[in-house]
Amino acid sequence: MSLDYSLGLTTHLAPEEVAEEVVRAGQSLGILEESITAQRLLVWSTTTRRTWLQVSPARPQPWHPPVSELGAITPTVQILFELDKNDHVAEQQEDLIRLTAALLERIPGDAVFSNLDVLWLVRKNGTLDVHEDNGFWTPERLALLPQPSTRRSHQYE
Determine how many CB atoms are found less than 10 A away from the CB of residue 62.
5
pLDDT for 1: 45
Residue 26 has pLDDT above 80, yes or no: yes
- Give me the helices (H) in the chain, please: 15-28, 38-41, 89-106, 139-144
pLDDT for 64: 54
In whole angstroms, what is the distance from residue 22 CA to residue 54 CA? 10
pLDDT for 57: 96
Report if residue 88 sits inside a domain: yes
CA distances (Å), 8 to each of 84, 86, 87, 114, 151, in order?
21, 26, 26, 8, 19
* Residue range of the domain that includes 49: 4-151
Report if residue 63 sits inside a domain: yes
Report if residue 29 sits inside a domain: yes
For the ranges 11-25, 40-54, 70-84, 96-110, which has the lowest average pLDDT?
A: 70-84
- Cβ(90)–Cβ(51) below 8 Å: no
Mean pLDDT, all residues of the chain: 90
Report if residue 157 sits inside a domain: no
Report if residue 16 sits inside a domain: yes
Mean pLDDT along residues 62-87: 76
Report if residue 127 sits inside a domain: yes
Q: Report which DSSP code applies to 42.
A: T
Tally of domains within the chain: 1
84-115 confidence digits (pLDDT tens): 988 899 999 999 999 999 999 999 999 999 98
Report if residue 101 sits inside a domain: yes
pLDDT-derived band at 67 (thresholds 50, 70, 90) equals low
Q: Are strands 111-115 and 150-151 parallel, antiparallel or unpaired?
A: unpaired
Report if residue 14 sits inside a domain: yes
- Which residues partner with 154 through β-bridges? 119
Mean pLDDT along residues 34-48: 97
127-136 confidence digits (pLDDT tens): 999 999 999 9
